[in-house]
Amino acid sequence: MSRSDRSLSPSHDILPAETLPAVDLSASPRLRVPFSEAGAPPFPSAAGEVPGLGSGGAMQGACGCRSVRPGRRTSSAAFFEEPPEEDDPLLGFAPYIHAAPRRNSITPERQRMFIAALAASGIVTQAARAIGASLEALYKLRHRKGAEGFSAAWDMAVDRGMMRLEDCALERAIQGEERPVVSLGQVVTTYVRHDTALMLFLLRSRRAARYSPDPRDPQPGSALYERVLADYQSRQPSSEVILDRIDAKIEKMRERDLAYQAELAAEREAWADEELESYGGA
């Protein structure tokens, strides 16, 4: 069984609520979205409410998970956002049409549901759970001839997820991360830790002209880069000068070729005269 099969197999589904004790998750800021039996959190309604959540984000009922990596379902970066609207250009792609669709085929409607879930979560695994399809089937469909529109929409949906990831990194760099202080096995207080490496990375990637790690390597848009580029372009000859130089080189090559041909003809003539003299003497 492959890795993706294990992540989508029935053995990793959510346990029924009646088999688990009630758990109050309102105190945990990371467990704010319940998961359905398919393993994916439900989409919020038009009013912004999520089914299964009460006031203040408290869970109505109980949920459990037998996943070997439950962190993939509770990560703060894995929460679903509002799915795209029906008239969103992202969902206007040309889906793949099956010549002979089967009961479990990924129909155009399920393809659009997958793209909507992927744009809302940014995680392919969760989007696959949302439509009840395996990763193998989705990737095979993506690489089929005629599924170019589906593949392009997939990439665009992932780009939206990457934008969310950048926002999460920027928020963490600015607001910091709360860390506990433990003494004798008890949490006595907390403090906010700011990730300096993350802040420097964001500054260098988004403000490379100012925070470039190597000032000797100017970036496009900086004053030094533009000055060096202008100086380089001013030293370059014009197109007319370049064409004249090329013509002069071609003419020199032609003259060398003519001189070689004349020398070769003279050698052949001399060799012919020597052969005639040898035959005449014999």
pLDDT tens for residues 113-167?
A: 999 989 888 889 989 998 999 999 999 999 999 999 999 999 999 988 888 888 8
pTM here is: 0.45
Q: Is the pLDDT confidence value at 222 over 70?
A: yes
Q: What's the average model confidence in pLDDT over 186-211?
A: 86
Q: Looking at the predicted structure, is the pLDDT value of residue 14 above 80?
A: no
Whole-angstrom distance, CA of residue 137 vs CA of residue 173:
38
Residue 127 tokens, joined:
């989007």
Mean pLDDT of 205-211: 76
3-state secondary structure the chain: CCHHHHHHCHHHCCCCHHHCCCCCCCCCCCCCCCCCCCCCCCCCCCCCCCCCECHHHCECCCCCCCCCCCHHHHCHHHCCCCCCCCCCHHHCCCCCCCCCCCCCCCCHHHHHHHHHHHHHHCCHHHHHHHHCCCHHHHHHHHCCCCCHHHHHHHHHHHHHHHHHHHHHHHHHHHHCEEEEEEECCEEEEEEEECCHHHHHHHHHHHCHHHHCCCCCCCCCCCHHHHHHHHHHHHHCCCHHHHHHHHHHHHHHHHHHHHHHHHHHHHHHHHHHHHHHHHHHHC
Per-residue pLDDT tens digits for 62-94: 333 444 454 444 444 444 566 777 778 888 899
What pLDDT does residue 40 have?
Answer: 43
Q: What is the pLDDT of residues 231-275, one digit of tens each?
A: 988 888 888 899 999 999 999 999 999 999 999 999 999 998 888
Q: pLDDT-based confidence at 211, cuts 50/70/90?
A: confident
Residue 215's pLDDT band (cuts 50, 70, 90): low
Higher pLDDT pick, 276 / 260:
260
Q: In the numeric block, which tokens belong to residue 124?
A: 């392919």
Assess contact for 51 and 87: CB atoms under 8 A.
no
